[in-house]
Amino acid sequence: MLRLAIQSKGRLNEESTALLREIGIDIDDNRRKFLSQAPNFPLEVLYLRDDDIPQVVAAGTAGLGIVGLNEVEEQGLDVQVVSKLGFGACRLSLAVPRSADYDGPQWFAGKRIATSYPRILRAWLEEKGVQARIEVIKGSVEIAPAADIADAIFDIVSSGGTLVSNGLREVEQVFWSEAVLISSGKLDAEQQALLDELLFRISSAQISRRKKYILMNLPQSAVEEATRILPAMRSPTVMPLAAEGWCSMHSVVEEADLWDKIRQLKAIGAEGILVLNIDKIIP
Ligand code: ATP
Ligand code: MG
């Protein structure tokens, strides 16, 4: 049995539970529950505040956790990041009032900076050789300059909208974060095997998320060229059509390249092109 700590409510909750479902693990959505056992995988899910997740994993109370890399870095506890999960992207940035004449890191010398991330901020200030005062605030850091509690803030930014609506300007991007799977590093052999199975399923889901299945009718004479345009896992599948001189070609393409490939395929005579979503890819 493996225990996984996830955020009980907040920005990472929904995508953490969606990821588990995507890899075939049913979990109870009853948020009042503190601990629930998946009926179809030897996994127990522990619902916590995100701040508590690194600690619970470091202590081994949960073997695994899903949490923002920002929390892992800030707390500096003994946990291992085993996989990036591709959601919850954000950054930790310094922001100053819009009217400030910011001219580089030395601007912060002697200033007060409000943050919930003192450790990451201190490391950055040290690296830049800047002496500033760190005011630790939990929550609503962005109002600190207007309330004259601080001259600047160091906080999470994703779109930047919150900064703008508080009259602030992002001046230094310091740390990039996304949701990660962390481990205590103290798993027994059975738990390690379960973690390997989870990682295998997560990577299959991640690979398929960026790919599309494409099929089309193609003149037989264009097959060789189409194979160059569409390198598949081994090579594209080619099947004869009833119509003389035509075949059907199937392959998998990166979503980012999709429109470029379609343009090239049309140019060599492809017709009836279908693009489908892929549920899983097992390489
Ligand atoms: P909890 O009640 O669990 O302590 P919280 O209020 O501390 O929750 P949330 O705001 O739910 O935390 O954010 C959780 C994580 O989501 C952050 O630590 C960060 O990794 C990630 N995140 C992604 N985008 C944003 C954003 N725009 N603002 C805040 N967090 C974000
Ligand atoms: Mg929190």
Chain centroid, CA 102 distance in Å: 31
Question: Residue 109's closest CA among 130, 135, 136?
Answer: 130
Spell out the residues 6+ positions from residue 261 whose beta carbon is closer than 8 angstroms to its own: 214, 229, 230, 253
pLDDT tens by residue, the chain, 283 residues: 999 999 999 999 999 999 999 999 998 776 667 999 999 999 999 999 999 999 999 999 999 999 999 999 999 999 999 999 999 999 999 999 999 999 999 999 999 999 999 999 999 999 999 999 999 999 899 999 999 999 999 999 999 999 999 999 999 999 999 999 999 999 999 999 999 999 999 999 988 888 999 999 999 999 999 999 997 777 889 999 999 999 999 999 999 999 999 999 999 999 999 999 998 888 7
Atom of ligand 1 nearest to the CA of 88: 23
Predicted local distance difference test score (pLDDT) of residue 139: 86
What is the CA(7)–ligand 2 centre distance, in A?
9
Ligand 1 pocket mutation, candidates 6, 34, 50, criterion most atoms within 8 A of CB: 50
Q: Whose CA is nearest to atom 26 of ligand 1?
A: 158
Backbone angles phi, psi at 117, to 5 degrees: -120, 65
What is the CA(10)–ligand 1 centre distance, in A?
6
Predicted local distance difference test score (pLDDT) of residue 236: 86
Q: Are 249 and 219 in contact (CB under 8 A)?
A: no
Predicted local distance difference test score (pLDDT) of residue 30: 67
Handedness of CA 101, 104, 106, 112 (dihedral sign): positive
**Tally: H helices and E strands in the chain:** 8, 15
Question: Residue 114's closest CA among 92, 98, 99, 83?
Answer: 92
Predicted local distance difference test score (pLDDT) of residue 147: 94
Task: Give the integer Cα–Cα distance in Å for 255 and 6.
Answer: 30
Whether the CB of 71 sits within 6 Å of ligand 1: yes
Ligand 1 pocket mutation, candidates 8, 12, 163, criterion most atoms within 8 A of CB: 12
Task: Give the integer Cα–Cα distance in Å for 135 and 132.
Answer: 10
Q: Whose CA is nearest to atom 3 of ligand 1?
A: 49
Predicted local distance difference test score (pLDDT) of residue 231: 77
Alpha carbons within 13 A on the beta-carbon side of 190: 6
Predicted local distance difference test score (pLDDT) of residue 4: 98
Atom of ligand 1 nearest to the CA of 10: 11
Predicted local distance difference test score (pLDDT) of residue 31: 61
Domains of the chain are: 2-87+178-207 (3.40.190.10), 90-177 (3.40.190.10), 211-277 (3.30.70.120)
Whether the CB of 92 sits within 6 Å of ligand 1: no
Q: Whose CA is nearest to atom 20 of ligand 1?
A: 68
